[in-house]
């Protein structure tokens, strides 16, 4: 989902040194230029590097959308990026940031999908989780700010305990490891980092009622400040199972009280769709929906 990205550890240099000393494990993919860490997967004419490659612009017009992917895959860790979404009338467009195992019937995938809007309507973000090939776990949240006015940080934390989707460090979705209840959890397949900008006016805005207005094209989305901290694959086999990885630490195994309070606030005030409560699709509530946070 192209420019020069600087990937950096948010942890201190000392923490990085300690982690690397203990196990040669969490390698942070820090490209000097975008193309050193990423590859264009779709329509290179629609991806422009800005600021010497430290940011990128994705373009959607009637000819094409575009996309890119990390050159490496990762098994557990955290990935984040700053995105400025399409301003104005963006109905029918989808800007996606996700992780994907790039496998077919048993794929794992963790999705952010930003659904375009008509001017004056809220921007919605849809999250979804695929585990062992099973998806259909959509949740939608109306963002509480204008995501086209400035950059905001979107992140996915993935460890053995849960997956947490966050916006500016506010959790908007938690998918817990409920393997004990027979619910699949992504933990075997490494995943790459992807992003795309594309037209999906058959479903993206108000269920497809609002169509894309090509008179407003081209549409632009902007990205910068990628931060990937995880176990690269291929890489040391011991990395993903090492409890010394910072993202496996006790403070990351569940939401702390402040994060839990923010999460409840989002769900009470900004959630507009939850597969867990959609009785037309799931007459029996899926077991993972009963686990709380």
Residue positions annotated with a catalytic role: 109, 113
Q: Is the sign of the CA dihedral 7, 13, 14, 18 positive or negative?
A: positive
Do 266 and 46 form a contact (C-beta atoms < 8 A)?
A: no
What are phi and psi for residue 174, nearest 5 degrees?
-130, 125
Residue 31 DSSP class: -
Do 107 and 100 form a contact (C-beta atoms < 8 A)?
A: yes
Give Cα 198 distance to the centre of its chain: 16
Task: Give the C-alpha separation, 111 to 100, whole Å.
Answer: 8
């Amino acid at each position: 989902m192209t420019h020069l990205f600087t990937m950096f550890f948010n942890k201190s240099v000392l923490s990085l040194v300690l982690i690397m000393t203990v196990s040669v494990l969490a390698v942070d993919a820090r490209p000097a230029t975008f193309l050193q860490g990423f590859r264009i997967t779709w329509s290179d004419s629609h991806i422009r590097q800005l600021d010497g490659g430290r940011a990128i612009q994705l373009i959607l017009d009637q000819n094409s959308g575009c996309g890119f992917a990390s050159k490496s895959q990762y098994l557990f860790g955290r990935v984040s990026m700053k995105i400025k979404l399409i301003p104005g009338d963006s109905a029918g467009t989808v800007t996606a940031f996700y992780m994907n195992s790039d496998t077919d019937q048993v794929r794992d995938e963790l999705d952010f999908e930003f659904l375009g809007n008509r001017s004056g309507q809220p921007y919605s973000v849809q999250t979804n989780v695929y585990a062992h090939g099973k998806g259909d776990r959509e949740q939608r949240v109306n963002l509480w700010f204008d995501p086209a006015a400035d950059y905001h940080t979107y992140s996915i934390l993935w460890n053995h305990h849960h997956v947490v989707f966050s916006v500016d460090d506010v959790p908007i979705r938690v998918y817990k490891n409920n393997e004990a209840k027979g619910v699949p959890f992504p933990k075997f397949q490494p995943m790459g980092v992807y992003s795309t900008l594309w037209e999906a006016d058959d479903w993206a805005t108000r269920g497809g009622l609002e169509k894309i207005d090509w008179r407003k094209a081209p549409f632009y989305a902007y990205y910068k400040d990628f931060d990937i901290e995880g176990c690269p694959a291929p890489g040391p086999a011991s990395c993903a199972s090492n409890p010394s990885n910072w993202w496996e630490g006790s403070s990351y195994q569940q939401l702390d009280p402040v994060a839990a309070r923010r999460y409840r606030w989002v769900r009470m005030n900004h959630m507009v769709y939850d597969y867990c409560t959609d009785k037309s699709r799931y007459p029996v509530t899926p077991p993972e929906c009963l686990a709380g946070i």
